[in-house]
Amino acid sequence: MEYQWLIDRVDSVIVNRSKTVILAFLLVTVVMIGGLGSITTESGQEQFIEDLPSFQAVEDINEDFSPTFSEVTTSTTLVQESGNVLSKPALTDMLATRERIITTNALRVDSVSTPAVTVATTLNPDATTAEQQLRAVERATPTQIDAAVREAAAEEAGFTGSLSDDFNRQSASATSSRGSVTHLAGPGEGSGGGPGGGSSYPPNKVDRIKSIVTDDASNIWVQGTAPNTTGTTTSVVLPAALLLIIIFLAVAYRDPVDIGIGLLAIIMTLLWTFGFIGYVGIPFAVLLIAVPPILIAIGIDFGIHSINRYREERVTGLGISESMMRTTDQMSVAFAIVVGTSAIGFLSNVVSAFPPTQDFGLVAAIGIIFTFLIFGVFVPALKVTVDRARQRYPIPTFADTPLGSERSLLGRLLSVGVTVSKRAPLVFLLLILVSTAGAGVYATGVDTGFSPDDFQPAEETPDYLQYLPESIRPPEAFEYVRINNYLDRNYQQDGQVLMYVEGSMTDDSALEELHRAAESPPETFRSERRQADTQSIVTLIESRAERDPEFRELVNRNDRNDNGIPDDNLPQIYDALEEPADSDLSGFLGEDRRSAQVIFTVDGEAEDDVVTADAYDVADRFRSSAQPTGSVVIFDEALSLVLESVIQSLILTLIGASAFLLFAYWVIEGRPSLGLVNIVPIVVTVVALVASMRAVGLAFNAINGTILAIAVGIGIDYAVHVVHRFADEYHERRLYPALQRTVVGTGGALTGSMLTTVFGIGVLVLALNPALGAFGILISLSVLYAFLASILVLPSTIVVWARLTDEEGVDLPVVGAVKTALSGESAPVE
């Protein structure tokens, strides 16, 4: 075998120059540590949707239609709750609070908008300052206030949208209202359209506003920016994972020195991977939290198999060098196959539409290569060095026997699959085939989802997290999430579609085009008299013309078809519309007059996919380029990409892994069909996993959308160890003795690896993000299913494979009959 010389060379270096190997790996570790200081973090849903055309349109809208946006970096939400927030006491309390916020210089307030301001200006249109508006409400009677509320609800766009769903126009009452505070940028802040200004600016803005808000019957809450829980989650998950791993390593190794070797290798793997992240500049996003547990699990699997196999050789009486060379001879090949297939599974995620998923695939693939190098080269070299030192010095050995034997309870349990393969392998596989097909049909009903909630922690944190050190201890409850949940329950969801239109807005037909696009809108678009409910340049012109006779005359002179929409001398119309200085034109017309924004009101109860389809239908009505956007469109597009990404990555993984396995076993064993044997338990694993998702009500989302590729990448590890060990044993033994030795010998290590992985990755349930916790459970389930399929299903698959390929010389009666029929010979009789 051509590759054997390379393996022999590596074996020789590991055994004969072990100290040099150790030193080289430690030096690389020092270099990788240098990248840790460059790691940045990223959170929230924007990282998943930033490449969508609809999200890019929002960015363009922010840049084109908000010339002052570079000065306003952040906003803070105010929510008021009481028996009636439109009563005189509640309104005066909110307006008094607003006045104190505006006059606090440290908050750099640009404006504070609340329904209370609308009521005040309705009562007194001349009230332009916070003090005057407060005085207008204080001097009004309850009857006057109720009348002003009803008038505002009828005439002021957006007024009712700032009130809770229980708003009653007749009684002029609502239990809740919401407003916002916008903050001006500080030095060096606010360039690039808002997000660049930093969502936390000004410093301590939420705490400062809370200190201003009075805690009385009106109950005003302050909502700042979404919490970034990535650091806390990592601080919780990694120590818990390491603790569980130490426990299981103690059971698997039963030797403190070997446990120390395993832990050192894990730490080096993580340092290399995190150093790589820092050096290449990949932000540490929520999805990357799953990478360390995955690498730890695979590393532990490699370590247990390597040490277990080494001990199997040692108990036969072989010396240290020969035992390790035999171990690395076999395990290096098995590890290489695992790394190849796992890397393919992880790298399949680079086709995802979501940048964090692409980063996850790349980092996991690089990490698995690091794991292979450290556990495949460094660990054997360190183990050889330690055992030689034990021979020279009085270092005690606590355990040197492998995990699992034929006479042990574990060995007898692992042999169940072999027993079945002896009695009725074909019947058993047919049962598995039927069960898998049925589960596959059921699995097609699994849901998909994409929501901002996927990226937020639960409203209240578990009590046990309060025992963490203060520096990483999360709050008992996340106020941002609590208020967000309250708004979701009590306010109508976003009912707007934004249309970003590109083209010359000075062409005579530009405004007519905006007007025609809003005629006879789809059912999900709010309309009146067959005209969509919109906000645009057209509605600004109509509103201004109603109250300004001089402007109305200008419009009439330039309206050739007398429909109220100017279609001549548009630059002159825009110039007039820009006066006075506080005109809203900049919110709908780009500064260069080559883009426009149209805001359509849509049915908030309609299905997102229907609204999105209708939005694109309306966009097609524009002769200019038009891109619909808004939260409804963005999240619906993201949702459609979730399932697409899942399917693409799964197909690529299965095709890539199958091709790699066929090639690997053709090169290594001259039996490419063994690669197909490897695939059988993986198909069973994937189908069982998706069926389980549907059974427990879990949907595919942006976070767990990588799970199928991971299931293949990690799960194939188990099948490879069994098949490769069998192929090695099959050279020296007949079918069933080779299979028995394989399952008992490798099965013990697989059991230890499975338990370590399931619980090591399962600690993701401790993550503050529930979606990430569910992700950890799914990975653990995939590993458990892969283990069971490798131990129970794979032995019968191997037996059928051996009979079909005539390796054993005796076919199953059914298979023999089929083969005989095909060849035209008489069937053998048993």
Q: Per residue in 90-109, pLDDT tens?
A: 999 999 988 888 888 888 88
Cα–Cα dist 151/348, whole Å: 58
Confidence band of 817 (pLDDT split at 50, 70, 90):
very low
- pLDDT above 90 for 271: yes
Instruction: Answer whether residue 216 shows pLDDT above 80.
Output: no
β partners of residue 552: none
Q: Range with the lowest mean pLDDT among 102-116, 173-187, 667-681, 809-823?
A: 809-823
* Exposed / middle / buried, residue 596 (Cβ in 10 Å: 0-12, 13-18, 19+): buried
- How much is the average pLDDT of 731-743? 84
Q: Tokens in use for 558?
A: 């330039």
Q: Cβ distance 793 to 684 under 8 Å?
A: yes
* DSSP at 227: P
**Residues facing residue 627 across a β-bridge:** 500
Contact predicate 698/778, CB 8 Å:
yes
More confident residue, 705 or 423: 423
**Which one is predicted more confidently, 101 or 69?**
101
What does the alpha-carbon distance between residue 746 and residue 748 come to, in Å, rounded to a whole number? 5
Pair of tokens at residue 635: 């999240």
What mean pLDDT, rounded, does the chain reach? 81
The residue written with tokens 């405004």 in the block is 511
Peptide bond into 474 cis (omega under 30): no
- Per-residue confidence (pLDDT) for residue 278, from 0 to 100: 92
Q: Which residues pair with 78 in a beta bridge?
A: 179, 222
Query: Per the omega criterion (within 30 degrees of 0), is the bond before 580 cis?
Result: yes
Is the pLDDT assigned to residue 693 strictly greater than 80? yes
811 token code pair = 């076919």
Q: What average pLDDT score do residues 119-132 get? A: 90
Residue 588 phi, psi (nearest 5): -130, -15
What is the rounded distance in angstroms from the CA atom of residue 149 to the CA atom of residue 153? 6
CB atoms within 10 A of CB 231: 14
pLDDT at site 812? 39
Question: Given this model, what pLDDT does residue 785 score?
Answer: 92
Banded model confidence at residue 411, pLDDT cuts 50, 70, 90: low
* Interval 111-131 mean pLDDT: 90
The one-character DSSP state at 105 is G
Question: Are residues 729 and 798 in contact, defined by beta-carbon separation less than 8 angstroms?
Answer: no
Q: What is the mean pLDDT of residues 615-633?
A: 90
Question: Among residues 172, 165, 114, 162, which one has the least CA distance to residue 489?
Answer: 165
**Could you tell me which residues come within 8 angstroms of residue 369 by beta carbon, excluding any fewer than 6 positions away?**
339, 343
Cα 800 to Cα 819: distance, rounded to the nearest angstrom: 13
827: left (phi over 0), alpha (psi -120 to 50) or beta: beta
**Does the pLDDT at position 707 exceed 80?**
no
Query: Between these two residues, 214 and 222, which has the higher pLDDT value?
Result: 222
Question: What is the per-residue pLDDT for 244?
Answer: 76
Could you tell me the pLDDT band of residue 613, with boundaries at 50, 70 and 90?
very high
Helical segments of 185-319, H only: 205-212, 230-253, 256-280, 291-314
Helix, strand, coil share (%) of the chain residues, nearest 5: 65, 10, 25
pLDDT for 189: 44
Contacts of 611 (CB under 8 A, 6+ apart): 497, 524, 602, 603, 632, 633, 636
* Confidence tier at 212 by pLDDT (50, 70, 90): confident
Is residue 749 within 8 Å of 722, Cβ to Cβ?
A: no
Q: Where does the pLDDT of residue 439 fall: very low under 50, low under 70, confident under 90, or very high at 90 and above? A: very high
For residue 239, pLDDT over 90 is answered with: no
Q: Could you report the per-residue pLDDT of 472-512, keeping only the tens digit for each? A: 677 777 888 888 888 888 887 657 889 999 989 999 889 99
Q: How far is residue 167's CA from residue 686's CA, in Å, rounded to a whole number? A: 49
> Which residue is associated with the tokens 């993701």?
764
Instruction: Dump the DSSP string for 37-92.
Output: GG--B--SSHHHHTTSHHHHHHHHHHHHS-TTGGGEEEEEEEEEESS-TTSHHHHH
* Alpha-helical runs (H) found in 630-732: 631-668, 673-696, 707-730
629 backbone dihedrals φ, ψ, rounded to 5°: -155, -165
pLDDT for residue 217: 43
- Structural contact between residues 750 and 787, judged by C-beta atoms closer than 8 angstroms: yes
pLDDT at position 120 is 92
Does residue 301 contact residue 717 with C-beta atoms inside 8 Å? yes
- Beginning with the edge strand found earlier in the chain, give each strand of the sheet holding 72-81 in spatial order: 109-113, 176-184, 72-81, 220-223
In the chain, DSSP finds a helix count (H) and a strand count (E) of: 31, 10
Q: Could you tell me if 238 and 382 are in contact, meaning their C-beta atoms sit under 8 angstroms apart?
A: no
Give the pLDDT confidence score for residue 533 in this predicted structure: 87
- Comparing 555 with 45, the larger pLDDT belongs to 555
Q: Which residue has the tokens 């969508």?
A: 52
Q: What is the model's pLDDT at position 825?
A: 43
Convert the pLDDT of each residue in 644-680 to its tens digit: 777 888 888 888 888 888 888 888 888 888 888 988 9
Residue written as token pair 């020092």: 30
Q: Look at 128-137, 233-242, 303-312, 730-739 and tell me which has the smallest mean pLDDT.
A: 233-242
**Torsion angle in degrees (nearest 10) through CA of 523, 525, 531, 536:** -160
**Region of poorest pLDDT, from 62-71, 539-548, 609-618:** 62-71
pLDDT tens track for 750-791 = 887 788 778 877 777 777 777 778 888 888 888 899 999 999
Identify the burial level of 155 via C-beta atoms within 10 angstroms of its C-beta, where 0-12 means exposed, 13-18 middle and 19 or more buried. Answer: exposed
Q: Output the pLDDT for position 822.
A: 39
The confidence score (pLDDT) of residue 813 equals 41
Coil/strand/helix, residue 111? strand
- In this structure, what token pair is assigned to residue 119? 């009521």
Which stretch of 71-75, 585-589, 656-660 has the lowest confidence by average pLDDT? 71-75
Give the number of other CB atoms < 10 A from CB of residue 818: 14
Q: What does pTM read for this prediction? A: 0.71
DSSP state of 378: I
Whether the per-residue pLDDT at 737 is higher than 50: the answer is yes
